[in-house]
Structure 1
């Protein structure tokens, strides 16, 4: 059964309109008024709530006094991907959630103010930092996402020769390819990449470590290695019908919209998205903007157990996404031509038992199977781990989660440090862009301490 309307071409103009940044930035007047609301707390809880410890009162004060270079420098000093984080950080859970004004009125709009300052830096083509004096040490960074870029920038500012090996055509990782454009335009991420390049870091794109160059070669050629390779695509969910026409990987779907007019045509279609994390939300809202007539998110637990941020959930509801809680996909059904027609599901109930992840364990309700008419199914149940790459380096890991020192991020090979999604899991923190940025910084500082133990470890200097 197919509910789709006659296929209509998705024009470039329609695509540009639908995927333009959803939330407008602050005007100059709005930014000044908002910054003047700040109490500039001496012992600011917002700083403590920021994983990268941005001096938030300081940059807001600089906006109030029209010192936008100073504001942008303060932000980017602490967070090398601060322009992206201004758009994608769960600020209501972090800095804004800690704002002392929550009890009196409304918290300072820290995310929008951070965006205002970094947008100025982008528009002004400002160079905020300079490379340090050359040390002669060479560091390879495997992966050019937020964690890898942060490590590379800190090392370049300290005078290390840095080469980033990036498997994709463009660096930036998740920020460049994996977050929908109407939340994070690709140009923002690429500006952050450019800032790292301007400090002298070399980025070799289209080079896959483990295939185009071996781990052994890197270990031989470099004084230290930062493994920041992230994760792969969505793994198979293991149900019948995954091979049918109309079944999509959520990450690949979002990628298509980040790199140009997508080939996927969802106009008029009924779409089911399996999963309830941030990637699933992105896939669902992306499907809406690709013209889907109806989008349902299918999740075997309840709203309380979903891993997506609250603001993501609210945004999805505003976009018209529907949620089918306590629903487990069992089979994808197709017609004789091999095209998706239905998703067979079963109703679930939560037991009183708690799983290893701390969430209640769901179980099927006997005899509750039903068919949901759909034209497309998008899978978003997590990502494959880089076990092959990890094992090439000979690192200790638990099911693809690299084991590291909690402070230095040094692995079982003292020459190799690991940061970002490749160490996320097994109860280690949240997979946030801002957390990955801080891990990259911390690993870089640990490398400096290891290779230059006699030097002052204040990283770089602002211009």
Structure 2
């Protein structure tokens, strides 16, 4: 049996990628061509002026660099670590054609890390305009909306159901990619603009929907997603079956378990959360970790860099494999999972080929833990209480303004993602929060409500 101490487990969850040294950052920033009409800016969903922030690094103006980043992206310190930069800014870098792209994400981290270490306050609240906005949800979209509204002078209150604000960045992305301290700093930057954050406060339970609509001039709905849905198979109630979201949350909250040491784990699903569940299992000491996915590698939704990271961690991938039953022992503990092989048929509504089972192909994998990571459910109860038009929990909005079917309510982030409405990235949620804030300000100013 593998021996591992609690201290070793904690070390396993420290950041994997090392920060640039001062010399490395200087040399890398001086590689930038500072392109006019830079394609990297266009590739960034929040439109960060990338050549400018890099130029400021090369000239030693790290405060100016951090301000340039964070003015466009209120969660820019987190995004420096979790954005799929190879698909966005770095993928668009003109140096791809001749050498290698500028390490934009690493330089963004360098500048924002400097601001964090030096306890910088980057922005000031606007002059109060006498109007108030409620933001439901304190994740990337909600924080972005709140910050921009506060800079316009609104009295902003964030209602956050969790113990801490930050949403996905605080609880949902593994700590060896994104430490909680980074998310906490971004939350503090918003709080310093006189934004009130009410944590452990669930709208519809601790605060009535009726009071929310009555007491605020506008509402931003940025509630994200809920828990992982059931697989719908026998054995889900056995000891050793985990919700991937809660599983990652526990590791980020400092609850380091030794239960996985020397064990065998399988993860159901192939998105970024599934990768997180698998790589967390490895760091908890699991002897063997497999990801089971009912489609093929081509259809998986995880980012390429996440996939490569998991493979480097020794995670195995079983394609065209679906769970059929979770098997337990006489004590109610997981000991195996029955799987069935799949084939792909015609494309379904989202364009991916629909999987179907191969008759008689069942087989059993001996396992000690099963982690469910097949997407997330939606907060239908609250959406219905607000009487908003939606499609299976995807709130319908004007794609230009993010205004819902209720003119007083705007929505952004995961609650509007899905059904062909774009990619659910942290950086995209941040941009939507900004745009919702701008359109609320325009709406209230045009109606004479904001002075």
TM-score range, shorter chain: over 0.9
Are the aligned partners of 1:256 and 1:262 in contact in 2 as well (CA < 8 Å)? yes
Q: How does 1:138-153 map to 2 (within 5 A)?
A: 138-153=132-147
Which of the residues 27, 31, 53 maps onto 2:47?
A: 53
Aligned to 1:460: none
Are the aligned partners of 2:69 and 2:108 in contact in 1 as well (CA < 8 Å)? yes
Aligned to 1:125: 119
Aligned to 1:402: 395
Q: Distance in 2 between matches of 1:358 and 1:105?
A: 35
Q: Distance in 1 between matches of 2:343 and 2:381?
A: 37
Q: How does 1:42-441 map to 2 (within 5 A)?
A: 42-263=36-257, 265-351=259-345, 353-441=346-434
Are the aligned partners of 1:90 and 1:311 in contact in 2 as well (CA < 8 Å)? yes
**Match of 1:144, SS?**
coil
**Match of 2:446, SS?**
coil
Are the aligned partners of 1:235 and 1:384 in contact in 2 as well (CA < 8 Å)? yes
**Offset, 1:263:** 4.3
5+ residue gaps in structure 2? Answer: none
CA offsets per residue over residues 299-321 of structure 1, 9 Å max, x none? 01111000000000000001110
**Offset, 1:262:** 3.0
Q: Distance in 1 between matches of 2:411 and 2:356?
A: 37
Are the aligned partners of 1:47 and 1:56 in contact in 2 as well (CA < 8 Å)? yes
Are the aligned partners of 1:45 and 1:98 in contact in 2 as well (CA < 8 Å)? yes
**Offset, 1:261:** 2.7
**Offset, 1:10:** 4.6
Q: Distance in 2 between matches of 1:10 and 1:274?
A: 28
**Offset, 1:355:** 1.1
Q: Distance in 2 between matches of 1:10 and 1:363?
A: 44
Are the aligned partners of 2:320 and 2:343 in contact in 1 as well (CA < 8 Å)? yes
Q: CA RMSD in A?
A: 1.3
Are the aligned partners of 1:134 and 1:161 in contact in 2 as well (CA < 8 Å)? yes
Q: Distance in 1 between matches of 2:234 and 2:20?
A: 49
**Match of 1:163, SS?**
strand
How many residue pairs align between the two structures?
A: 449
Aligned to 1:451: 444
Are the aligned partners of 2:257 and 2:284 in contact in 1 as well (CA < 8 Å)? no
**Offset, 1:348:** 1.1
Q: Distance in 1 between matches of 2:446 and 2:72?
A: 22
**Offset, 1:354:** 1.1
CA offsets per residue over residues 52-88 of structure 1, 9 Å max, x none? 0000001000001111011000000000000000000
Aligned to 2:35: 41
Are the aligned partners of 1:15 and 1:261 in contact in 2 as well (CA < 8 Å)? no
Are the aligned partners of 1:274 and 1:297 in contact in 2 as well (CA < 8 Å)? yes
5+ residue gaps in structure 1? Answer: 458-463
**Offset, 1:453:** 2.9
Q: Distance in 2 between matches of 1:10 and 1:261?
A: 14
Aligned to 1:461: none
Q: Please list every run of at least 4 consecutive aligned residues from structure 1 whose deviation after the TM superposition is greater than 2 angstroms.
A: 261-264
**Match of 1:130, SS?**
coil
